[in-house]
């Protein structure tokens, strides 16, 4: 035989010479949960993950940088007393997220701080947008609140704001709002193709942000659709997105590849809580090698075309890769 592909697989050194996909700690973004309590609290819905206190989060940030993780995305658990139907607390300059941003930026200026822009943690209805009396999600009224939220985050030191709400037209509105206040350097990472997925359950438990009524299918994308992701991508590019995202990651590798092939913008993918928990549950039962499967899943997401990956394995994966 003239062709023996196995020659390129014969030793680890040769495999490392010819490998096609490189995963490194700098590719990983760590999603971090926080609350205003003074005690760090393990999250029952997501074994191995923690809802961090302000002091605990500072310690985590230091460990993340030491591990080679340069970027975190912040998700707040807001106490019920501060929630209302229009997410007023989202735009509070003295709220949990702005206060946390100021603290992190002061102590760790080299850490890239990414924020979630959506109303579900702040809404008494648990939706990403304002809910009308008849149950409709109000698109344009929601964007007005999102503008205030993004500006509060930018004023506090956010490097990148990441709208996850899936309202139509919000990227252009947020870009103009940020620019009008002089925040030309604050990046926009758009949740471009965020699907109405059943894989989000543990995350909603971590933030107590599940919808109180109805579902999110009128604004998040239908899992049966592929071409629609390219329509959303074209709109986000035209409206000024700096980066785009596909969420979830593992069940949507085909969408990651479609988006990667269709844009020159950096592409992110979010390995969501349900993906994480499936690996954790199988590993705890002894059916899977946790480390090997977690790394393989991340390599698969990177191979599909993601430039960066939001993953709850970020800290451990960085150590494994080192």
What pLDDT digit, counting tens, does each position of 39-88 carry?
A: 999 998 899 999 999 999 999 999 999 999 999 999 999 999 999 999 99
Is there a domain that residue 5 lies in?
no
Is there a domain that residue 56 lies in?
yes
CATH number at residue 84: 3.20.20.70
Total domains in the chain come to: 1
Is there a domain that residue 17 lies in?
no
Give the separation between CA 147 and CA 133, rounded to whole angstroms: 23
**Beta strands 137-138 and 130-131: pairing type?**
antiparallel
Q: Could you say which of 77, 83, 216, 247 is catalytic?
A: 247
Is there a domain that residue 45 lies in?
yes
The secondary element (H helix, E strand) that includes residue 112 is: strand 112-117
The secondary element (H helix, E strand) that includes residue 198 is: none
Q: Could you say which of 77, 83, 194, 302 is catalytic?
A: 194
Is there a domain that residue 52 lies in?
yes
Give the separation between CA 100 and CA 95, rounded to whole angstroms: 8
What pLDDT digit, counting tens, does each position of 240-288 carry?
A: 999 999 999 999 999 999 999 999 999 999 999 999 999 999 999 999 9
Residue 270 gets the label, from left (phi > 0), alpha (psi -120 to 50) or beta, of beta
pLDDT beyond 80 at 186? yes
Q: Is 232 annotated as a binding residue?
A: yes
To the query of whether residue 216 is one of the catalytic residues in this protein, the response is no
pTM of the predicted protein model: 0.95
Mean of pLDDT over the chain: 96
Is there a domain that residue 18 lies in?
no
Is there a domain that residue 12 lies in?
no
Is there a domain that residue 60 lies in?
yes
> What range does the domain containing 81 cover?
24-321
């Amino acid at each position: 035989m003239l062709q023996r592909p196995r020659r390129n697989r014969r030793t680890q050194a040769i495999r490392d010479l010819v490998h096609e996909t490189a995963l490194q700690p700098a590719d990983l973004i760590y999603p971090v949960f926080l609350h205003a309590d003074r005690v760090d609290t393990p999250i029952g819905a997501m074994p191995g993950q923690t809802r961090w206190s302000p002091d605990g989060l500072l310690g985590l940030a230091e460990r993340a940088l030491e591990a080679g993780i340069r970027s975190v995305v912040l998700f707040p658990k807001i106490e019920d007393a501060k929630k209302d139907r229009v997410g007023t607390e989202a735009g509070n300059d003295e709220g949990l997220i702005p206060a946390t941003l100021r603290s992190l930026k002061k102590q760790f200026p080299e850490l890239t701080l990414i924020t979630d822009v959506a109303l579900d943690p702040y809404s008494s209805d648990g939706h990403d947008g304002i809910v009308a009396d008849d149950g409709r999600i109000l698109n344009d009224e929601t964007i007005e609140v999102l503008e205030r939220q993004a500006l509060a985050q930018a004023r506090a030191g956010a490097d990148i704001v990441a709208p996850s709400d899936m309202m139509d037209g919000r990227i252009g509105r947020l870009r103009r709002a940020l620019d009008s206040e002089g925040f030309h350097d604050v990046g926009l990472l758009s949740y471009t193709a965020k699907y109405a997925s059943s894989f989000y359950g543990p995350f909603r438990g971590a933030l107590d942000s599940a919808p109180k009524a109805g579902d999110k299918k009128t604004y998040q994308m239908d899992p049966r659709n592929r071409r629609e992701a390219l329509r959303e991508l074209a709109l986000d590019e035209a409206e000024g997105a700096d980066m785009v995202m596909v969420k979830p990651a593992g069940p949507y590798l085909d969408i990651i590849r479609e988006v990667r092939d269709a844009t020159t913008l950096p592409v992110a993918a979010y390995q969501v809580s349900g993906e994480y928990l499936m690996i954790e549950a199988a590993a705890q039962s002894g059916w899977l090698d946790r480390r090997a499967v977690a790394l393989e899943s991340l390599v698969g997401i990177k191979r599909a075309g993601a430039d960066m990956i939001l993953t709850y394995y970020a800290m451990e994966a960085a150590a494994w890769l080192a």
